[in-house]
């Protein structure tokens, strides 16, 4: 075990220094520029404590107390779940799987062991693969350099800088101007911790060009529920003028897993970005979402759900920065809490002085179904403009006893009736998912989680 936060920081810093050294000598290389910026940001930052307002209800001590192995080189054996039709890239412990036995599907229907790329002259043209491969493509050089410059001129938190600094080779997705990608791009992250506690740092650079449209799905799955591991994931997302990105995140990590996530989204004029989230697994989860409206007529949608049982801890933090006029944001986060579980929601919307004609809506709702479960909710609005329509609120309650009684009179058991009501409560979020096939994929995991809780409760009642 490490003694202090500074000791832990030095361990990670030495790993980052090694990665910087690996690409040293390539002056002007965007990969080197990113790593050097990550290294500087990490060195200047510090791990949060509960004295920090945004981390008041979530301690990272348990995450930092473990001594983690690096990315495992074990064979990739995680079966791809039943899913929608998609271009699929698989990652094992944060590293893109590129061996001959497990090639990734590509956009043109063929196979490639490094990337999914079709000429940008095609309507389906896009790149999806590793950043190192993307950087070798002259067609992408200017786009990547511009995005990297933006990243290196914006603040980077301690976990994002750590992940970017340590990551073997970030994933890169580039949707060229005017491209309309017909199938979702599915990133499946599997973790294998059979050799001991493992830390992985998936990092994604996602660029959607002008007038382009795409769907991206991230699924975080364990190889086996076999112990402690840590997934520290981050994304930098750029949506160009009149671009449209629907971004889905499914997290069903193992029961002893830690999961921290940071998504930073930059939107240009007339663009639409939507993120649709289901947090179902893990022991401790923290998800940060930061959306910046960098121009006018932007729409942002955040719809998320979570379910906790046992001693699970799930913390969702969002920040929507309305810096320009004539923009819209919608946010709905719902959760169901059992046993000794804890949920945290801290949503902040800021409307800056020049951001007139803003519509911003935010709501957090939770069902607390145990006397030992805790929900901390803090919706926030900071408005510095006078011609806006903004609302925010939080609702914390229990299942409707009348609805529960009605279902039981129709022959449902107590547990079955509760499961049905919980599913209906959370399905309100899934109904906002634009892609019905992806919605059904998420629903299957939600139903599995709620069924497991129902069986557990029924077993405990039978024993007592």
In a domain, 388, yes or no: no
Final residue in a domain of this structure, among 246, 280, 295: 295
Considering the domain boundaries, does residue 237 fall inside one? yes
Contact 165, 23 (CB under 8 A): no
Residue 87 lies in a domain: yes
Same domain for 291 and 425? no
Q: What is the pLDDT of residues 233-251, one digit of tens each?
A: 999 999 999 999 999 999 9
pLDDT value of residue 88 = 87
**Non-local CB neighbours of 177 within 8 Å, separated by 6+ positions:** 209, 210, 211, 212, 240
State the pLDDT at residue 119.
30
327 in any annotated domain: no
Q: Please tell me whether residues 77 and 205 are part of one structural domain.
A: yes
Nearest C-alpha neighbor of 76 from the set 58, 59, 91, 94: 91
Cα–Cα distance between 281 and 219 in angstroms, integer? Answer: 11
Residues 83 and 200 in one domain: yes
Number of independent structural domains in the chain? 2
Q: Which of 70, 60, 62 is nearest to 196 (CA)?
A: 70
Predicted pLDDT of residue 336: 98
Q: What is the share, in percent, of the chain residues with pLDDT greater than 90?
A: 69
Domain extent at residue 274: 5-295
Q: How far apart are CA 266 and CA 240, in angstroms?
A: 9
Report CA torsion sign: 46, 202, 342, 383. positive
Q: Which pLDDT tens digit goes with each residue over 380-408?
A: 999 999 999 999 999 999 999 999 999 99
Classify residue 424: in a domain, yes or no.
yes
Q: Residue 330 phi/psi, 5° resolution?
A: -125, 135
The residue with tokens 């942002």 is: 300
The predicted pLDDT at position 2 comes to: 56
Q: Which residue, of 260, 295, 330, is where some domain finishes? A: 295
Length of the chain: 464
User: Is residue 60 within 8 Å of residue 41, measured between CB atoms?
Assistant: no
Residue 368 lies inside a defined structural domain of this protein: no
pLDDT digits (tens, 9 = 90+) for 66-114: 888 765 555 555 556 667 888 888 888 888 886 443 433 333 333 333 3
Q: Which residues of 211-227 are buried (b: 16+ CB within 10 A; e: fewer)?
A: bbbbbbbbbbbbbeeeb
Q: Can you give the pTM of this predicted structure?
A: 0.92
Average pLDDT, integer, range 330-352: 97
Whose CA is closest to 163, among 25, 55, 291, 71? 71
pLDDT at 71: 56
Q: What is the pLDDT of residues 143-159, one digit of tens each?
A: 999 999 999 999 999 99
Choose the final residue of a domain: 266, 295, 324: 295
Residue 340 lies in a domain: no
Mean pLDDT of the chain: 88
Position 407 in a domain: yes
CA angle at residue 224 from 72 to 250, to 5 degrees?
95
What pLDDT band is residue 348 in, cutting at 50, 70 and 90? very high
Over 90: is that where the pLDDT of 5 sits? Answer: no
């Amino acid at each position: 075990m490490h003694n202090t936060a500074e000791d832990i920081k030095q361990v990670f810093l030495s790993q980052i220094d090694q990665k910087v050294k690996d690409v040293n000598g390539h002056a002007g290389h965007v990969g080197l520029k990113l790593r050097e910026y990550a290294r500087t940001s990490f060195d200047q930052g510090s791990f949060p404590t509960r004295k920090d307002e945004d981390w008041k209800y979530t301690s990272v001590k348990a995450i930092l107390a473990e001594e983690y192995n690096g990315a495992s080189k074990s064979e990739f054996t995680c079966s791809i779940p039943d899913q929608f039709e998609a271009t699929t890239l698989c990652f094992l412990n944060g590293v893109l799987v590129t061996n001959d036995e497990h090639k990734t599907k590509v956009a043109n229907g063929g196979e490639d062991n490094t990337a999914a790329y079709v000429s940008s002259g095609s309507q389906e043209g896009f790149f999806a693969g590793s950043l190192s491969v993307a950087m070798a493509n002259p067609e992408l050089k200017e786009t990547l350099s511009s995005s990297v410059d933006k990243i290196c001129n914006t603040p980077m938190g301690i976990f994002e800088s750590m992940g970017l600094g340590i990551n073997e080779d970030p994933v890169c997705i580039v949707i060229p101007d005017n491209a309309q990608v017909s199938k979702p791009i599915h990133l499946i992250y599997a973790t294998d911790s059979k050799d001991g506690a493992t830390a992985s740092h998936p990092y994604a650079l996602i660029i959607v060009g002008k007038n382009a449209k795409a769907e991206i799905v991230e699924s975080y799955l364990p190889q086996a529920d076999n112990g402690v591991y840590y997934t520290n994931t981050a994304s930098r997302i750029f949506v160009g003028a009149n671009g449209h990105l629907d971004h889905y995140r499914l997290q069903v990590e193992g029961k002893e897993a830690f999961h921290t996530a940071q998504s930073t989204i930059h939107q240009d004029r007339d663009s639409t970005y939507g993120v649709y989230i289901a947090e179902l697994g893990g022991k401790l989860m923290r998800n940060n979402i930061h959306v910046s409206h960098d121009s006018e007529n932007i729409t942002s949608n955040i719809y998320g759900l979570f379910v906790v049982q046992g001693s699970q801890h799930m913390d969702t933090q969002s920040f929507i920065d309305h810096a320009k006029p004539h923009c819209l944001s919608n946010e709905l986060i719902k959760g169901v809490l059992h046993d000794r579980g804890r949920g945290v929601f801290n949503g902040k919307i800021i409307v800056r002085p020049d951001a007139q004609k803003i519509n911003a809506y935010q709501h957090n709702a939770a069902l607390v179904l145990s006397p030992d479960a805790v929900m901390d909710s803090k919706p926030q609005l900071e408005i510095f403009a006078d011609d806006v329509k903004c609302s925010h609120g939080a609702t914390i309650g229990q299942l409707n006893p009348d609805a529960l009684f009605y279902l039981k009179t129709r022959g449902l058991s107590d547990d079955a009736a509760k499961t049905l009501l919980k599913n209906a409560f959370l399905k309100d979020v899934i109904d906002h998912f634009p892609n019905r096939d992806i919605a059904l994929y998420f629903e299957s995991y939600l139903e599995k989680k709620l069924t497991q809780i129902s069986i557990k409760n029924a077993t405990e009642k039978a024993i007592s």
